[in-house]
Chains A and B, each alone.
Chain A
């Protein structure tokens, strides 16, 4: 088990609603990344936060946004939910200075949009 925790475990929302997912980093890690894993697919990079700022983003629309707090925990917000947003959302933490860029994953939040 890593020290990365995520909440909630499962969530059901209706199309058009907004959702907030939460992540606590492993101790000593200052970087948080978020990934979306659709059924039968590998995780896809959404964005990364370092020192409370977004420092990298994947191919996701602006309705996917995030925050990182001074204690390095993080939130992923998704507005105007669409059916295709149904997926497992993974949070991963790391030390940006780690040359091997090893990321430690949390258990994920399963989001279902109906």
Chain B
């Protein structure tokens, strides 16, 4: 079965620190890859997505992620975090051979940025 692993469940950083959140997936076929963010009290929002082309994708709010196919990884990065980045971050994949869209999510990483 497809699965997504996020290795860091809780991350605490100071403002201006660099961020990297790990994401690995287990699926042998072609997938689309996503990072979603859930700010406190808000709904899930798309940060960035990868479906083909340049494996380094840039999203909103200065976030980027790199797809490394050989490692089945799609790590999220940001060079300098802000207090407003405090949120829960979810990595997700969609296998493309099912005939329907099915997001498989990781368990999430809760990020706390202290001012």
Contacts and interface: CB of A to CB of B under 8 A. Distances in A.
Interface residues of A, number: 31
Nearest to A107: B43
A100 B51 contact: yes
B101 A42 contact: no
Interface residues of B, number: 25
Interface string A74-93: 00000000000000001010
Contacts of A1: 43
A44 to B, nearest CB: 7
A55 B45 CA distance: 24
Contact of A42 (B32, B45, B51, B105): B105
A74 to B, nearest CB: 14
A42 B100 contact: no
Interface string B71-106: 000000000000000000010101000111111111
Interface in A1-44: 1-2, 4, 31, 33, 35, 40-44
A2 B44 CA distance: 10
Interface of A: 1-2, 4, 31, 33, 35, 40-45, 48, 50, 55-56, 58, 90, 92, 94, 96, 99-108
Given A1-B43, A42-B92, A105-B45, 5 more contacts: A4-B43, A42-B106, A43-B103, A56-B102, A105-B43
Interface of B: 4, 32, 34, 36, 42-46, 49, 51, 90, 92, 94, 98-108
23 contacts: A2-B43, A4-B43, A33-B102, A40-B107, A41-B108, A42-B4, A42-B105, A43-B90, A43-B105, A44-B105, A48-B100, A48-B102, A50-B100, A56-B101, A94-B101, A96-B100, A96-B101, A100-B49, A101-B94, A102-B34, A102-B46, A103-B103, A105-B44
